[in-house]
Structure 1
């Protein structure tokens, strides 16, 4: 069986989990095997259909025991394993061609049985006939590794109207899963939606529906499905759903959706890798100027989610060693210690030299800057400058006081002041106050504030348990 791409899970594998044995009229899948089996209605073939059904069932049973068929199925399984193990486009293409050839060879060995099955179609006259035909078609399709025939059989069973509600929803899911593996996106969406509407939520059916939109170049609709599925859960959504949402939104240039999924991701699963993803996506979609970049990369620093030298370099450039020497020196040293910055890099050495040479004077100016900021005539610019200096020197208590003071000044850059007040409150452990502050941020900084708020919450809340 060839694996399809959906969170490393094969949709076809779920379809085959139906496990209908050749000749079985109704079979429960492993997904419901532990539950009480639904009542099976009595199935009676019509007089015209009955004489054809018996021989077809016998032929199918016998085919499943034939050595040439068993050998061909072993060849298919070996070829499928080769596809999964192949690395590189050329190797994958060759392995897939081999797989297709082995499936065709298996199908050729069952050509007579397929012809015999086709002869049943004109004799179908009742819902019972259609259900029996559907099960025979699925059984032969499974034996032949023939996805279209499997889907045809399952759809006939659904269309018969003879399935109990639980089976109707389940079979619709399997039709959708097979359609997904066949890349028939429209059919996959229709069947999966029918299954979900009927209450079938097992086997990641909702995420599969979302992927059926995404793979058909309908990212916005797919993300909407994913959001609805996440909102309907009583526990945290699976981590891979949230990561997928971030990546799909980013590639589709849906910045708001990328931020939404990013915030949900780090709120539920605040790992270093997830913080790096959420911050990197916001950085690339928002294209912030220097002051906003400083605050976003401060979050990267707090979460220790630097992933490459570029992260440190952008922080150094945005913060500027002449304006915030203490903070820049800390970033430079962190980058050097991580091995992501090189001491031989001229940019790095220059930044470190400038920052080191200015720290003493800059620190000595802090008391005067604070005194000027607290003067009644101080402007918003003066107060913000003092607050920024204290924040850059890891003195959040002083910084928070001054940001509060700046908020009362006319002409203050409100989103910037609120963001940095929230950062200072977070550093102080004042989580509720920080979240309330971040919630007030509007404009381009709002998305950043949402991530900061998630970080504040993560300092007191445990990470979500893996979704089951």
Structure 2
């Protein structure tokens, strides 16, 4: 981490006169020291670190300002050599000098903390950050560094609020949150089993980078630990498929098994066939071959039962039958019909409104009604379904962006 050291770095040593008038006492350098420092500066500019080291090592300062110049050059040399320990030592020498400009001290104290962190001296890193704060430096990077120190000390409970503060301040500043920060926040939220925040952070990340690989990582990691009910899990597998993010035998097999478990036999059949077409499943895989054999006749019966289900849903006093029919239409990718039934379910009531609104939003989205979909998804307030709705809402935003760019 290179740091500008005021006018010393900005102005060549060779250009400095013997006495420079500034606010305060005059700055004095002897002719001999100035010539030697200029020679060292030439080597630094040429990035000739071996020559620079020899010339800086030969400097013999006889005044406070000359001592400051020598320390600053040692720091610059250490930066060029990427020698963290030497940088930290040079900063200590600079802090001892009364010539260090007061305006630079707060930021340099933060830098000292960062360097101490890099060499594993977390006590000094914290002390330097505290000192920087007393001098008026409390940047977002300092908060992040405190979080990193807590993580290195294996104190995630201390790190998490610091990291959350840094993310909030970064967002408020209007600057993009680095993806590495989001990844750290996801890890800490995951450890804390705060899956609402895990979901929100993954969605923030997906809003920035949304390749199929990004979608797969977000959804599979979220699914693996969030403890979602089976129906909510199913909608996230559907979203993974919608993003072209089915990348392995496990993806197709888990999706098909979940669909079969929930009674969506035609969907399970379609997923196995899609997996085979994609080359991720083969006909000699026992688990999926047996599953396909089992669901194929059931899928035919499932489809044949739809008209009777429609009559029952229309005459029922509650929305439960309409919800069940809507779910069947959804599993068959008959989205306009699913929309009709979900709206009927909501109008009749006695259903899980979070689930119905989430699925209404999904069906509308898959029908191409993105505005209507977003309105429905916003009504899914139950924690599990709110997260499902949130992921689908992110997908809709991306479809709108693609349409605008076309």
TM-score by length of 2: 0.77
The residue aligned with 1:434 is 373
The residue aligned with 1:183 is 120
Residues 247 and 336 of structure 1, relative CA distance in 2, 3 Å threshold:
farther
The residue aligned with 1:329 is 269
Counterpart check, 1:392 vs 2:331 = yes
Q: Shift of residue 226 of structure 1?
A: 3.9
Aligned partner of residue 291 in structure 1, secondary structure: helix
Q: 1:150 aligns with which of 87, 95, 108?
A: 87
Aligned partner of residue 368 in structure 2, secondary structure: coil
CA contact (8 A) 1:316 1:328 kept: yes
Structure 1: gaps spanning 5 or more residues: 1-14, 30-38, 75-105
Q: Shift of residue 286 of structure 1?
A: 0.8
Residues 361 and 143 of structure 1, relative CA distance in 2, 3 Å threshold:
closer
The residue aligned with 1:26 is 8
The one-character-per-residue Cα deviations of 1:171-229 (angstroms, maximum 9, x if unpaired) are 3453344233223345546656848965867xx77766654443343441353144224
Q: Shift of residue 233 of structure 1?
A: 4.0
Residues 207 and 183 of structure 1, relative CA distance in 2, 3 Å threshold:
same
Q: Shift of residue 56 of structure 1?
A: 11
How far apart in 2 are the matches of 1:292 and 1:366?
Answer: 23
Q: Shift of residue 243 of structure 1?
A: 3.8
The residue aligned with 2:189 is 249
The residue aligned with 1:34 is none
How far apart in 1 are the matches of 2:51 and 2:285?
Answer: 60
Q: Shift of residue 373 of structure 1?
A: 0.4
| Greater RCO structure (CA 8 Å; 6+ sep) | 1
Q: 1:163 aligns with which of 87, 95, 101?
A: 101
CA contact (8 A) 1:213 1:221 kept: no
Superposed, which structure 2 residues align to 1:170-209 within 5 Å? 170-185=107-122, 187-188=124-125, 194=132, 198=137
The residue aligned with 1:95 is none
Counterpart check, 1:450 vs 2:390 = yes
Deviates more, 1:242-251 or 1:379-388: 242-251
CA contact (8 A) 2:219 2:236 kept: yes
How far apart in 1 are the matches of 2:402 and 2:178?
Answer: 16
Q: Shift of residue 424 of structure 1?
A: 0.8
How far apart in 2 are the matches of 1:242 and 1:407?
Answer: 37
Q: 2:237 aligns with which of 293, 297, 314?
A: 297
Aligned length, in residue pairs: 387
The residue aligned with 2:256 is 316
Q: Shift of residue 437 of structure 1?
A: 2.3
Superposed, which structure 2 residues align to 1:243-392 within 5 Å? 243-251=183-191, 253-320=193-260, 323-375=263-315, 377-392=316-331
How far apart in 1 are the matches of 2:74 and 2:50?
Answer: 19
Q: Shift of residue 263 of structure 1?
A: 1.1
How far apart in 2 are the matches of 1:436 and 1:40?
Answer: 64
The residue aligned with 1:403 is 342
Deviates more, 1:148-157 or 1:258-267: 148-157
Structure 2: gaps spanning 5 or more residues: 12-20
Q: Shift of residue 356 of structure 1?
A: 2.4
Aligned partner of residue 323 in structure 2, secondary structure: helix
The residue aligned with 1:96 is none
Q: RMSD across aligned C-alpha pairs, in angstroms?
A: 4.4
How far apart in 2 are the matches of 1:230 and 1:198?
Answer: 16
The one-character-per-residue Cα deviations of 1:78-119 (angstroms, maximum 9, x if unpaired) are xxxxxxxxxxxxxxxxxxxxxxxxxxxx9xx999769x88xx
Q: Shift of residue 440 of structure 1?
A: 2.5
Aligned partner of residue 320 in structure 1, secondary structure: helix
CA contact (8 A) 1:40 1:164 kept: no
The residue aligned with 1:32 is none
Q: Shift of residue 153 of structure 1?
A: 3.1
The residue aligned with 1:84 is none
CA contact (8 A) 2:189 2:198 kept: yes
How far apart in 2 are the matches of 1:190 and 1:275?
Answer: 41
CA contact (8 A) 1:292 1:445 kept: yes
The one-character-per-residue Cα deviations of 1:47-76 (angstroms, maximum 9, x if unpaired) are xxx79x9769949967997xxxx79799xx
Q: Shift of residue 318 of structure 1?
A: 1.3
Q: Shift of residue 351 of structure 1?
A: 1.9
The residue aligned with 2:15 is none
CA contact (8 A) 1:246 1:258 kept: yes
Q: Shift of residue 339 of structure 1?
A: 2.3
TM-score by length of 1: 0.68
Residues 133 and 271 of structure 1, relative CA distance in 2, 3 Å threshold:
same
Residues 182 and 275 of structure 1, relative CA distance in 2, 3 Å threshold:
same
How far apart in 1 are the matches of 2:100 and 2:403?
Answer: 46
Residues 296 and 140 of structure 1, relative CA distance in 2, 3 Å threshold:
closer
How far apart in 1 are the matches of 2:325 and 2:51?
Answer: 75
